[in-house]
Amino acid sequence: MAEFKEAPAGASVGVKTMTWLENRFPTAFDAYKVHMSEYYAPKNFNWWYIFGSLALLVLVIQIVTGIFLVMHYKPDASLAFASVEYIMRDVPWGWLIRYMHSTGASAFFVVVYLHMFRGLIYGSYRQPRELVWIFGCAIFLCLMAEAFMGYLLPWGQMSYWGAQVIINLFAAIPFVGDELSTLIRGDFVVGDATLNRFFSFHVIAVPLVLLGLVVAHLLALHDVGSNNPDGVEIKKGPKDAKTGKPLDGVPFHPFYTVHDIYGVCLFLMVFTAILFFSPEFGGYFLEYNNFIPADPLKTPPHIAPVWYFTPFYSMLRATTSDFMPFLWGFLGLVGVVTVRRSPNLPAVLKVGYWGLLAALLFLFDVHGVVLGWLGMKIPTGLHGLDAKFWGVVVMGGSVLIMAFLPWLDDSPVKSIRYRPDGHLYVYVVFVIFFLILGYLGVQPPSAGGTIVSQVGTLFYFGFFLLMPWWSRLGTPKAVPDRVTFHAH
């Protein structure tokens, strides 16, 4: 047992209190030192590095406001919509709490998308931070599940029909699709059982997993150290002769806590402006159809998910029967280029890619024949599997492929600062297509929009799958031995 520390003679009440706590809870103080006051972060962080702390802030906002909403919400199909209206109209400050929660959901995805983009351009997924990136991708998946399940709870028209459409996508999975979609709904139609299941997952199960992943994400980050805009590892750089601390780093507290507090103030100004003056944000944050009670007998003229799902939803809609030959030809070409022109690509990824492609081709070409041999009814559509199934595969693959970035990027440098100029244009086009896909996902389907979505889908997958090839093109600039830092 460690010896108790004594407060200095004449110490203030605050110092005596902290000494008393440290003697009885030293683990907390050790954690504070490891992750705050003695955690050295690179001294050249820029404003791209505030979005991690902002994501943590919004997570706290969502948890706190969610607790207060649960106090008055009724997870019952006949009472859910009325309980939300009761919160908005009769609960003191209920309208503010509800709008903070709904606006916070969109704010969460804004800061997470920007946080991920910062990791993309500065190579924060590269060695030794592969696990940090994988935990981040798992957080993104949990966040999508949490948002989808929470979207049903108001029990408005768009909530009901959006859930109907998304859950029906699972029915496209061969053999088990119908049983799986019924299991998710808890019934043969979206109803009270569905609402209770989604409520339980939204309030209890998914938040627990999300919090665990956030802790793992932060612990893994602090174990290997933070990346920086130069992509220089400060742990490998010069160190102070006495303390052994990196000379290119500064303690996270107080330097970056003050930096982040300033960013939080700016964020809260924008957040509250939207919250008080335009919480629906033109129908993007809260759809106008969701202010109408759910009616199973009246389908809205246009069903679309919330804006943060729409890029992936566009890829789902872009996957038509006519598009499949182009997609398979593209995947085959990508496979040849990636595997043959990327000697540094791990063998397990090469084998995995060809194995996945062979499995998909098997489903594409042989599935209908196999069902015929077994005497089973062959579904209508392309080779026994309709385009909806392939759309689900494309949509799921568009999210999961991000987890493989650490092994797809073969550039000799991490940061966009020192990559060839042509790489910057690739990133710019990627962002433009992603935004276009997001916009088209909100709009009603059209022939022109479908073609643009198909082109965007091919570029999206090409960006990742061809990265082992294009990331080695051009001559990178010289990376400095130490971080470049200019005092403010």
User: Given a cut of 90, is residue 208 above it in pLDDT?
Assistant: yes
CATH number, domain of 266, equals 1.20.810.10
pLDDT class of 387 with cuts at 50, 70, 90: confident
User: Given a cut of 50, is residue 377 above it in pLDDT?
Assistant: no
Average pLDDT, integer, range 321-341: 74
Residue 132, CA distances (Å) to 35, 249, 270, 348, 381 in order: 16, 20, 29, 21, 41
Contact in structure between 31 and 22 (CB atoms under 8 Å): no
If asked whether residues 332 and 243 sit together in one domain, one would say no
If asked whether residues 264 and 354 sit together in one domain, one would say no
- 485 domain-assigned: no
Which of 303, 337, 358 is the last residue in one of the domains?
303
What pLDDT is attached to residue 488?
58
Q: Containing domain of residue 356, as a range? A: 310-474
If asked whether residues 246 and 110 sit together in one domain, one would say yes
What pLDDT is attached to residue 348?
64
User: Between 321 and 113, whose confidence is greater?
Assistant: 113
Residue 411: name the closest of 204, 122, 155 by CA: 122
Report which listed range, 332-336, 436-440, 477-481, is most confident.
Answer: 436-440
Residue 290, CA distances (Å) to 79, 84, 239, 430 in order: 15, 11, 58, 32
Contact in structure between 485 and 44 (CB atoms under 8 Å): yes
Q: Supply the Cα-derived Rg of the chain in whole angstroms.
A: 26
Residue 77: name the closest of 190, 226, 186 by CA: 190
If asked whether residues 129 and 261 sit together in one domain, one would say yes
- 26 domain-assigned: no
- 109 domain-assigned: yes
Identify the residue whose tokens are 């594409």: 364
If asked whether residues 144 and 188 sit together in one domain, one would say yes
Question: What's the number of CA atoms in the CB half-sphere (13 Å) around residue 463?
Answer: 22
In percent, how much of the chain has pLDDT > 90?
62
If asked whether residues 47 and 191 sit together in one domain, one would say yes
C-alpha dihedral, 342 to 346 to 351 to 356, nearest 10°: -90
Q: How does pLDDT run across 455-480, given as a tens digit for each residue?
A: 999 999 999 988 988 998 899 999 99
User: Given a cut of 60, is residue 382 above it in pLDDT?
Assistant: no
| Structural domains counted in the chain | 2
Instruction: Report the C-alpha gap between 270 and 261 in whole angstroms.
Output: 14
Q: How many CB atoms lie within 10 A of CB 14?
A: 8
If asked whether residues 94 and 240 sit together in one domain, one would say yes
- 463 domain-assigned: yes
If asked whether residues 265 and 145 sit together in one domain, one would say yes
- 384 domain-assigned: yes
DSSP state of 190: S
- 481 domain-assigned: no
- 23 domain-assigned: no
What pLDDT is attached to residue 465?
87
- 481 by Cβ neighbours in 10 Å (0-12 / 13-18 / 19+) ranks as exposed
User: Given a cut of 50, is residue 391 above it in pLDDT?
Assistant: yes
If asked whether residues 390 and 447 sit together in one domain, one would say yes
User: Given a cut of 90, is residue 19 above it in pLDDT?
Assistant: no
Cut 0.85: pTM above it: yes
Contact in structure between 410 and 467 (CB atoms under 8 Å): yes
Contact in structure between 132 and 221 (CB atoms under 8 Å): yes
- 96 domain-assigned: yes
DSSP 281-350: GGGTSS-GGGGSB--TT---S-----GGGHHHHHHHHH--TTTHHHHHHHHHHHHHHHHHH-TTS-HHHH
pLDDT class of 170 with cuts at 50, 70, 90: confident
If asked whether residues 147 and 272 sit together in one domain, one would say yes
Q: How does pLDDT run across 98-148, given as a tens digit for each residue?
A: 999 999 999 999 999 999 999 999 999 999 999 999 999 999 999 999 999
What pLDDT is attached to residue 369?
45
- Average per-residue pLDDT for the chain: 88
If asked whether residues 267 and 379 sit together in one domain, one would say no
What pLDDT is attached to residue 15?
85
If asked whether residues 372 and 266 sit together in one domain, one would say no
Average pLDDT, integer, range 59-67: 97
